[in-house]
A and B are shown apart, each in its own frame.
Chain A
Amino acid sequence: DGGITQSPKYLFRKEGQNVTLSCEQNLNHDAMYWYRQDPGQGLRLIYYSQIVNDFQKGDIAEGYSVSREKKESFPLTVTSAQKNPTAFYLCASSIDRLAGLAGELFFGEGSRLTVL
């Protein structure tokens, strides 16, 4: 079945460590996105990629990094520079950026990161 897979579902990190969250899709979508969700807040865009080997900063990119070496994969690294990394992270994809604008986003099940 086609879909988006995020891993791990739960992750614990010590302060000062970098961690990488995986996002893989087999939907043949060009565009991929990373959102952060905090309780009582909407989703905030961290990074997005419209095509392979290209990505752009979203609203809260500081302390995060991404790569898009393959169409199917868009991993997110939470670096030690991110001051408050404990959150629920959601990866999404759309056929292309215009489909993303039309709200046709397909979401993964999310990864919950906790900093100890």
Chain B
Amino acid sequence: GEDVEQSLFLSVREGDSSVINCTYTDSSSTYLYWYKQEPGAGLQLLTYIFSNMDMKQDQRLTVLLNKKDKHLSLRIADTQTGDSAIYFCAEGSLRSSNTGKLIFGQGTTLQVKP
């Protein structure tokens, strides 16, 4: 079945780059997303990438997609304390087009140390 996996925790120092990784199993994935959840709050869409792209850059965020290995990563440059949050990887495929359903990973907690 469809599955999305992430490591649960990442700790970095302020100013360093953070790289959060995600693997997925559904080869028919059409869209891959990164959401951010701050403590006690809902999720906010950070960025997304279509499956026919390899890379997408948006200010401090860089998304890399390796379709062969079904591996997605989110790089945050010059990480700030305000970036501390849980980051969720999610995938959507044409097979779920009847539902609009996304499959979410477990979430990676990013801790930024001053």
Pick the interface stretch among B52-60, B74-82, B98-106.
Answer: B98-106
With A and B bound together, what is the CA distance between A42 and B48 in angstroms?
17
Shortest distance from the beta carbon of A83 to any chain B beta carbon, whole Å:
21
Cross-chain contact B105 with A31 (CB below 8 angstroms): no
Contacting residue for B102 out of A4, A41, A101, A109, CB 8 A: A101
What residues of chain A lie closer than 8 Å to B96, measured between beta carbons?
101
Pick the interface stretch among B11-19, B39-47, B63-71.
Answer: B39-47
A105 at the interface (CB under 8 A from B): yes
Cross-chain contact A103 with B48 (CB below 8 angstroms): yes
Task: Give A52-79 interface residues, CB cut-off 8 Å to B.
Answer: 56, 58
Cross-chain contact B8 with A40 (CB below 8 angstroms): yes
- A side interface size, CB within 8 A: 31
Residue on A with the closest CB to B97? Answer: A101
A98 at the interface (CB under 8 A from B): yes
Residue on A with the closest CB to B48? Answer: A103
Cross-chain contact A105 with B97 (CB below 8 angstroms): no
Cross-chain contact B101 with A103 (CB below 8 angstroms): no
With A and B bound together, what is the CA distance between A104 and B45 in angstroms?
7
With A and B bound together, what is the CA distance between A40 and B97 in angstroms?
27
With A and B bound together, what is the CA distance between A97 and B30 in angstroms?
15
Cross-chain contact B4 with A42 (CB below 8 angstroms): yes
Apart from the given pairs A42-B106, A48-B101, A101-B30, 11 other A-B contacts in the complex at a CB distance below 8 Å: A33-B100, A43-B88, A100-B100, A100-B102, A101-B97, A102-B92, A103-B45, A103-B92, A104-B45, A105-B102, A107-B44
